[in-house]
Amino acid sequence: MIPQRNRPSEMQRQLLPLIGIAVLLIALLGSIWWGFGQRDDKDAAEANLEQAQMQMAQQTSQTNAIAYRLNATPNGPERGSGTAFMPLTGSGVLNVVNLEPIAEGQALQLWYFVSDETPPVAGGTFPIDANGSGFLLIPADVGSFGGLGISIEPSAGSTSPTTPMMLQGSVSTSRG
């Protein structure tokens, strides 16, 4: 004897579409609720960003120096970086960290980028220590520039870069 399959009753067949609609309605309501939560998170993040920007602007207006970041280029060490501290008047200072040792007879040289159309202007040279750190005084009379770069050059310095920039950054025309 062949067993008979349990067939849904008429009532079960009528309830099946209603159950499907209920599941879809619950999913829709859940999606709407999740969307409102996401919007609230976005609004809170935007408010936090706006507050941070206002605080930064306030701090910048109250300080007499601005720090500019120099990041590693594809030719530089992955973790290498630098910071140029530029006061509104007077001398600045450049600090570099996480650089690789350089050969004897070589030094790092700072370059000032006046514009994209002109070659960089030579700055001073400086050594780095065994930990890959170094610093250089940026004279007050260097003129106007919009970017800084650092390359490895002979210890006496070069009049134009002889190696690619290893660190580079924009300083938003900090001098004038």
pLDDT of residue 44: 77
Average pLDDT over residues 92-102: 93
As a whole number of angstroms, the distance between CA 130 and CA 112 comes to 26
The pLDDT tens digits of the residues spanning 39-96 come to 777 777 777 778 777 776 666 566 667 788 999 999 999 999 999 988 877 888 999 9
| Concatenated DSSP letters of the chain | -PPPPPPPPHHHHHHHHHHHHHHHHHHHHHHHHHHHHHHHHHHHHHHHHHHHHHHHHHHHHH-SEEEEEEEE-TTS-TT-EEEEEEESSS-EEEEEESPPP--TTEEEEEEEE--TTSPPEEEEEE---TTS-EEEEE-TTS---SEEEEEEEETT--SS-SS--SEEEE--S---
pLDDT of residue 76: 93
* Model-wide pTM > 0.85: no
Can you tell me which residue has the tokens 């530029």? 86
Q: Is the pLDDT of residue 174 over 50?
A: no
pLDDT of residue 175: 45
Q: Is the pLDDT of residue 162 over 70?
A: yes
Res. 119 pLDDT band, cuts 50 70 90: very high
pLDDT of residue 73: 96
Instruction: Pick 109 or 62 by higher pLDDT.
Output: 109
Share of residues in the chain with pLDDT > 70 (%)? 87
